[in-house]
Amino acid sequence: MTAQITIRVVGMDDVLVRLNQEIRRIKGRSVKGLLKGAMRILRTAKMITPVDLGNLRNSGFVVWGKGTGQAQDRKDENFVGEAGAKVKLETNMAVQQVSAFAQGQREPFAAVGYGASYALYVHENLLVKHTVGRAKFLEEAMIDNFDAVLNDVEEAVE
């Protein structure tokens, strides 16, 4: 005859509920750190973005999400003239594209970008000498703020 032993773990449901709550809390805090870091990068990039009318600088944006499939964004609305209206439209379209990308994300994220159609050209063209700002504005901002962004995320999660 075989003896049967039944083991019952008491409180496991409560432990799992609390564990899942803590994971959600950490994810929520990490997205705050990611957002803080992304805004830091954008602020730095805008300081060194070449300026003619300011439309390129104002086309900078941040899109972030908590990994829930939805995204939020921050962008300027201060565009100048007829060209500014076009850049505003391009920026809104860029933000929509990045936000659409967020629908598949299941982890917190933040993205920094520029919506002006000519942003890539200005960013990569090292031959032009700008009176205000310089090429590689976003790349430099990311490199210069690397440690600070990591610190932003770490501090948010602690």
pTM beyond cutoff 0.85: no
What pLDDT score was predicted for residue 31? Answer: 84
CA angle 41, 94, 44 (to 5 degrees): 15
Domain count, the chain: 1
| Residue 57 token pair | 């600088």
Nearest CA-CA partner of 42 in 56, 64, 60, 65: 60
What is the domain extent for residue 110? Answer: 12-157
Q: E-strand spans in the chain?
A: 60-65, 71-75, 109-114
User: In whole angstroms, what is the distance from residue 11 CA to residue 25 CA?
Assistant: 21
What pLDDT score was predicted for residue 154? Answer: 85
Instruction: Classify residue 4: in a domain, yes or no.
Output: no
- CA dihedral for 89, 99, 113, 27, sign (positive or negative): positive
Checking phi first, is residue 115 left (phi over 0); if not, alpha (psi -120 to 50) or beta? alpha
Instruction: Classify residue 25: in a domain, yes or no.
Output: yes
Between strands 71-75 and 60-65, the pairing is antiparallel
Instruction: Classify residue 78: in a domain, yes or no.
Output: yes
Q: What is the crossing angle of helices 146-157 and 137-144, to 10°?
A: 50
Instruction: Classify residue 6: in a domain, yes or no.
Output: no
Instruction: Classify residue 1: in a domain, yes or no.
Output: no
| b/e burial code for range 65-87 (CB count within 10 A of at least 16 → b) | bbbeeebebebbeebeeeebeeb
| Residue 30 token pair | 């990490």
Q: Return per-residue pLDDT of the chain as tens, 158 residues.
A: 556 655 455 565 676 666 666 666 666 678 888 899 999 999 999 999 999 999 999 999 999 887 665 667 777 778 999 999 999 999 999 999 988 887 777 788 888 999 999 999 999 999 999 999 999 999 999 999 998 998 888 888 87
Instruction: Classify residue 61: in a domain, yes or no.
Output: yes
Instruction: Classify residue 2: in a domain, yes or no.
Output: no
The phi, psi pair for 52, rounded to 5°, reads -115, -70
What pLDDT score was predicted for residue 139? Answer: 92
What pLDDT score was predicted for residue 89? Answer: 94
